[in-house]
Amino acid sequence: MRTYTPEEAAAEIPALREQLARIRSSRRALIESSERIADAVAADGGGVSGSDWFDASRQLREDVTDLAQRDILLRDADGGLVDFPAEREGRIVFLCWSVREDELAFWHEQDSGFIGRRPL
């Protein structure tokens, strides 16, 4: 597993803002199109056309896979919350950032989560 310094994690933030917006959008589109398909199947046994479900599914898979390959942990897609593995005093911790925050400013222990965040 890759670990990030605070500077390395902070450098990811501009691209993450865009990527997390795409993830939220794709997730919403996937849910909406799934509901529409389910309604159509219940009404007439099928006949739904369009590629929005497949497009949203593909985009969501690409973005989530990309985060996983970079060892960035998506904790809350809707809230735009991610963790970056990091080392602190010889142990693995997480640098924690949300799209609601201007900059990376918090970290937490592996077992404490968002509620246990501490300032950098």
User: What was the pLDDT predicted at 33?
Assistant: 83
Q: Provide the residue range defining the domain that includes 104.
A: 6-112
pTM of the full structure: 0.84
Provide the domain count of the chain.
1
Per-residue pLDDT of the chain (120 residues; tens, 9 = 90+): 999 999 999 999 999 999 999 999 999 988 888 777 766 655 555 555 557 788 888 999 999 999 999 999 999 999 999 999 999 999 999 999 999 999 999 999 999 988 999 999
Q: Report yes or no on 93 lying in a domain.
A: yes
Q: Which residues contact 43 (CB under 8 A, 6 or more apart)?
A: none
Q: Report yes or no on 1 lying in a domain.
A: no
User: What was the pLDDT predicted at 39?
Assistant: 66
Query: Where do we find the tokens 């605070």?
Result: 6
User: What was the pLDDT predicted at 73?
Assistant: 97
Inter-residue contact 74 to 67 (CB < 8 Å): yes
Q: Which residues of 8-32 are buried (b: 16+ CB within 10 A; e: fewer)?
A: ebbebbeebeebbeebbebbebbee
C-beta atoms surrounding 95 within 10 Å:
26
Q: Report yes or no on 94 lying in a domain.
A: yes
Q: Report yes or no on 118 lying in a domain.
A: no
User: What was the pLDDT predicted at 77?
Assistant: 92
Q: Report yes or no on 119 lying in a domain.
A: no
Q: Report yes or no on 73 lying in a domain.
A: yes
User: What was the pLDDT predicted at 38?
Assistant: 66
Q: Report yes or no on 33 lying in a domain.
A: yes
